Structure 1
Amino acid sequence: MSYADELFIHMCKDILENGTSTEGEKVRPHWEDGASAYTIKKFGVVNRYDLSREFPALTLRKTAIKSATDEMLWIWQRKSNNIQDLNSHIWDSWADEEGSIGKAYGYQMQVKHQYREGLMDQVDRVIYDLKHNPYSRRIMTNLYVHQDLHEMNLYPCAYSMTFNVTKEKNSDKLKLNAILNQRSQDILTANNWNVVQYSVLVYMLAQVCDMVPGELVHVIADAHIYDRHIPLVEELITRPTYAAPTFKLNPDIKNFYDFTVRDITVENYEAGPQITNIPVAI
């Protein structure tokens, strides 16, 4: 069993057995037919993934690792807020007629800020600190910019990354760890998607900064399963599981901005059948 499977199964059982329901309450999300989209939720879920041990892809069903990476690069590398720069349609419901999702996600990553060391955007600041001041306790990003929320078509869900560097005894390499903060997550559609894409980010940043990947800690304030997803989740967590796949990056890439999805290799990824036609609350 992949450790990601073990965590996912435990988390889903905990939400279903011990979570609280929003049924009958005033909620924002709704289904395509106009019905309110209620959830069973848990507050403050924290999952830890040791990336030095295995790549945390679910095997209960396959996660599209390259598509998840493409979305991460859309935000962190291309720094775009336009779905025309993205090779999938997952953001179509939140885009305007020109393809923009407003001042959200990639838009915030390309905004330059004045630091003592010069003018940089958030991504370049992270890379600068990891290379020049790796033991800083201030290496972080934030997409939840209150002054721009009214111009975002969707408030950021995964809104903050905090990076922290450690070193193991008898090791000649620094280890890159990270915390992903998420205000809200649709567990069935997005949990492993987010885990995979930010794990890839840690792998990429570690490589270009001459480090090794360490832990990814995923903090979810509101971890929820939608009412119409409950039977799908109940079936999913009873499936057989397999060993985690092997993940590799092209070792020749030394600049974060040179990575593409073609630089990812995933081997021995055995997984259960995909769940199709999952209803998505908007």
Structure 2
Amino acid sequence: MSYADQVFAAMCRDIIENGVSTEGEKVRPIWEDTGESAYTIKRFGVVNRYDLRKEFPALTLRKTALKSAFDEILWIWQKKSNNVHELNSHIWDAWADEGGSIGKAYGYQLGVKHVYREGMMDQVDRVLFDLKNNPYSRRIMTNIYVHADLHEMSLYPCAYSMTFNVTQEKGKERLTLNAVLNQRSQDVLTANNWNVCQYSLLLMMMAQVCGMEAGELLHVIADAHIYDRHVPMVEELISRESHPAPKVWLNPEIQDFYQFTVEDLYVKDYVTGPQIKNIPVAV
């Protein structure tokens, strides 16, 4: 059984059984089809931990589109783009303007250069610099929730911060790279495993180009919620048969973060249940 399946099922049961309903509250999201308020069942402060040295945390209850997830993380962290025309999927189309821009959000923020004692760098290059030159620093992190620019973002960042932490494991020569992903809000059915997989891949990329081993991803979600219309779908999903986790790896020849492409992601033995279709979308 995939460990990611176990974590996901336990989280969903906890939200459904012990969560708090937002019905009747003033909420921002509306249903795309009716325009009515989209209410959720929510849990505050969900924390999940995944050890990439043991297995890749992809759900097998249903398929997660790993290539598309990888493409989006490259779009944000490598291309540092805020234009959907540079993204191969259409997941951001609803928030893009007529030119394809989502405003000063996500990749835009990672591409802004800042003045450091070592020179001008953006946040991604700062992480890479520190991992290679000062790996034991407790200051290796990114933050794209920039209050000064929120009014120019089509959507406030959900996954907004990554904190990287390096450890020297007993008996191992290579350093281990771990990370904390902080997320203010998450639609569990549509986005949970997508985010887990794409930030696991980011951790793997960073570790590889810095000569380290990818270790643990700690995922912290302030508001983990299931939309009321999604509850029956989630209940059916977590009742399914689980399968062993797939084998996932990156092209070992790539040693430059900016040289990775979607074709450098390899997936083997990914057996899953059927995809859930026609999921109602809250926007």
Instruction: Please give the TM-score of this superposition, normalised by the length of structure 2.
Output: 0.99
Deviation at 1:167, TM superposition (A): 1.1
Partner of 1:102: 103
Distance between the aligned counterparts of 2:89 and 2:214, measured in 1?
27
Q: State the match for 2:15 in structure 1.
A: 15
Identity of aligned residues (%): 74
Looking at structure 1, the residues matched to 64 and 199 of structure 2 have their Cα atoms a distance apart, in angstroms, of: 13
Q: Report the Cα distance in structure 2 between the residues aligned to 1:167 and 1:241, rounded to whole angstroms.
A: 34
Aligned partners of 1:112, 1:277: CA distance in 2, in Å? 41
User: Following TM superposition, where does structure 1 have runs of at least 4 consecutive aligned residues deviating by more than 6 angstroms?
Assistant: none
- Residue 158 of structure 2 corresponds to residue 148 of structure 1: no
Task: Kindly tell me the number of residue pairs found equivalent between the two proteins.
Answer: 282
Partners of 1:193 and 1:165 in 2: CA distance? 24
**What is the 5 A alignment of 1:4-83?**
4-32=4-32, 33-83=34-84
In the alignment, what sits opposite 1:232? 233
User: Matches of residues 117-128 of structure 1 in structure 2 within 5 Å?
Assistant: 117-128=118-129
**Deviation of 1:241 (Å):** 0.1
CA deviation vs aligned residue, 1:118-162 (integer Å, no higher than 9, x gap): 000000000000000000000000010000000000000000000
Residue 84 of structure 1 pairs with residue 85 of structure 2? yes
Residue 182 of structure 2 is matched in structure 1 by 181
Shift of 1:250: 0.5
Deviation at 1:277, TM superposition (A): 1.1
Counterpart secondary structure, 2:5: helix
Cα deviation code 1:42-90 (max 9, x no counterpart): 0000000000100000000010001001000100000000000000100
Structure 2 residue aligned with 1:222: 223
Taking structure 1 as the reference length, what is the TM-score of the superposition? 1.00
Deviation at 1:251, TM superposition (A): 0.6
**1: CA distance, partners of 2:274 / 2:252:** 32
- In structure 1, runs of 5+ residues without a counterpart are none
Rounded Cα–Cα distance in structure 2 between residues aligned with 1:130 and 1:30: 42
* Alpha-carbon separation, structure 1, partners of 2:229 and 2:83: 30
Per-residue CA deviations over 1:145-185 (Å, capped at 9, x if unaligned) read 00000000000000000000001111000000000000000
Structure 2 match to 1:275: 276
Amino acid at match of 2:264: D
Cα shift at 1:280: 1.1
Q: How far 1:37 moved relative to its partner?
A: 0.3
- Distance in 2 between the 1:210 and 1:25 partners? 49
Q: Which amino acid aligns with 1:13?
A: R
The DSSP-based 3-state class of the residue aligned with 2:281 is coil
Q: Which amino acid aligns with 2:279?
A: I
